[in-house]
Amino acid sequence: GNSVTQMEGPVTLSEEAFLTINCTYTATGYPSLFWYVQYPGEGLQLLLKATKADDKGSNKGFEATYRKETTSFHLEKGSVQVSDSAVYFCALSSGNQFYFGTGTSLTVIP
Amino acid sequence: EPEVTQTPSHQVTQMGQEVILRCVPISNHLYFYWYRQILGQKVEFLVSFYNNEISEKSEIFDDQFSVERPDGSNFTLKIRSTKLEDSAMYFCASTRLAGGTDTQYFGPGTRLTVL
C-alpha cells in the first residue's frame, strides 16, 4: 500500500540553523511527492512538489529531491527564520488520493 | 489568487446531531476532496469526488458520511449522527486535474466540536 513516514518532532532550532526533516515513502507505481506547511490556526499550504524521480522541488529557500532509490523526499533549508515555525507535512499522491505523514512541528527561536 | 473557502470556521454540535460542512472549491477545478485532522494527529483522507460521484473513499468514510455537490459551486460533507470521535478539523481540497500530479489546494478548514 501507500504510506508516508516522517521524522518525529517537535524540532526546535535557532534562527539561521540548517533544517532537515526526513520523509520516506512506500508506494505502488510512480507517485508525486509534496511538502505542505500548516501555520498556526491555518489550513495546509503547498510548499513544494516533485512529480518524478530526481526532480527537485524548491520554494522560499526550502528544497526537496525525489529520490527513488532511497524512496525519500527530505526537506531542507539552509538558514531557517522565526517565520518558518509551523508544522510540515510530507505527502504522496497516487491516483486521486493523497497520503500524509504525521507532520513535524518546527519551532525557530531567535 | 483563487482559493478554496469553507464555512463555518467552527461548528459545535451535540452528539447524535447532523452537521453539514460546506466548501466552495476553486471554480475551474473538477476534483474535490475531504480530509480530516484529529487534534495532534495526521491528516487523513476521507473521500474524493468527481463528475457528481464518489471516486474513492477511505475506511473512515462509513455510512454516516455523505458528500454532495448540490449546485455548481458548493461541495458539502454531511455527518448524519455525530459521535464524540468526529471532533476534528475537516479540510476540503480541490484539483483541476486527476492523476495525482496536480496540486491539491486546501481550504482553511472547519473545526468540528462534538459535545
Tens of pLDDT, residues B39-76: 878 889 899 999 899 988 999 999 999 999 988 789 99
Q: Which of A45, A46, A51 sits opposite B101 (nearest CB)?
A: A51
Q: Helix or strand or coil: residue A69?
A: coil
Instruction: Identify whether the C-beta of residue B106 lies closer than 8 Å to the C-beta of residue B39.
Output: no
Tens of pLDDT, residues A24-71: 999 988 899 999 998 887 788 899 999 999 999 999 999 999 999 999
* Nearest-by-CA chain A residue for B95: A96
Q: Is A5 on the interface with B (CB under 8 A)?
A: no
Contact B107/A46, CB-based, under 8 Å? no
> For chain B, what is the radius of gyration of the CA atoms?
13
Lookup: cell for B108: 482553511
Which residue of A39, A66, A94, A96 to mutate against B (max B Cβ within 10 Å)? A96
Residue with cell 505523514: A101
CA atoms within 13 A on the CB side of B46: 25
Q: What percent of chain B has pLDDT over 70?
A: 97
Cβ contacts of B105 on chain A, cutoff 8 Å: 46
Lookup: cell for B63: 455510512
- State how far the Cα of B11 lies from the Cα of B110, in Å rounded to an integer: 7
Cβ contacts of A43 on chain B, cutoff 8 Å: 91, 106-109
* Residue B42 backbone phi and psi in degrees, to 5: -75, 160
| Maximal C-alpha separation, chain A | 43
